[in-house]
Amino acid sequence: MLEPLQEPFMQRALAEVVLIGVAGGALGCWVVFYGLSYAAESLAHSLFPGLVLAAIAGAPLLLGATPAVVVAALAIALGARVVGVSREAAVAVVVTTMFGLGVLLALSPQSPPGVEALLFGDPFGVTDADLAAAAALAALVLLSLGLLHGRLLVVGFDRGAARALGVSPALADAALLVLLAAATVVAVQGLGNLLVVAVFVGPAAAARQLADRMLPTMLIATLVAVLAGVAGLYLSYSAGTAGGASVALAIVAVYLLSLPLGRWFAAHRSATPSAEATIA
């Protein structure tokens, strides 16, 4: 079990998945709670042309991914303002357009070898700079969620009454989307364009099967994301499978295991008498 830890590339990969797991697990609970799973997938796919351009130019992936997110967000906002076009339709059009553009660029003669890593990720290839970005992301997400916790709860549980309590639903939505975009830009370097959504949805969906309060759900989701990331890396190291795909597979496996556990916990809670009933 300890042998892989002697390899420097494995040490960096483990640090990367732990940092991404901390950020993705905590943020993912709000993504699932707000029904933004489709938005998370859309943002990830919209990054692809920027990632390919950065790879072709030999520039850091962050420099390509950041403007791609901005362009996609503006295009979705403008498309949703067209009469007769719903927000879901605008998202679908923008995402397919951006992803299709990225595929065309990836298939061009100028595309460097190994561009498939942009799709499926390569946690074993992360650099010290990638780790620094992931650490900054984890700190930003945890600090921001701590500051926004009350406002996000108010909007999430009663959007209609939020304004009366002095909380703007639009600002809460915007803050959550900005955090999601930043997290996606950083996490995509380790898990890839197609698989990064797994860390934002899978652990949170599993945690919701096991807890019914937000803070315990966030703690469970973070633990699930980190453990699944580590398990995926060990699977990849021992079986020779792709790193990003192995991590995503481990997350899906944990989610499937959470379904019967969630039903058992629900049945146990309903069978246990409440404190009020016991006193009565």
- Quickly list DSSP for 192-223: -TTTTHHHHHHHHHHHHHH-SSHHHHHHHHHH
Provide the 8-state DSSP code for 114.
T
The CA distance from 123 to 244, in Å, is 6
Please report the pLDDT score of residue 275 as a whole number. 46
122: DSSP letter: -
Domains of the chain are 7-266 (1.10.3470.10)
When comparing pLDDT for 190 and 98, which is higher?
98
pLDDT (average), residues 158-174: 82
Query: What's the pLDDT tens digit per position in 55-69?
Result: 888 887 778 888 888
**Which amino acid, 108?**
S
pLDDT value of residue 18: 92
Over residues 31-39, the mean pLDDT reads 85
Pair of tokens at residue 87:
């927000």
Q: Rounded to an integer, what distance in angstroms lies between the CA atom of residue 231 and that of residue 217?
A: 21
H or E, element range at 3: none
The answer for residues whose C-beta is within 8 angstroms of residue 227's C-beta and 6 or more apart is 254
Amino acid 22: pLDDT: 92
Helices 8-33 and 37-46, packing angle to 10 deg: 130
Per residue in 111-161, pLDDT (tens digit) is 777 777 777 778 888 888 888 888 888 898 899 999 999 999 888 888 878
Q: Does residue 196 surpass a pLDDT of 70?
A: yes
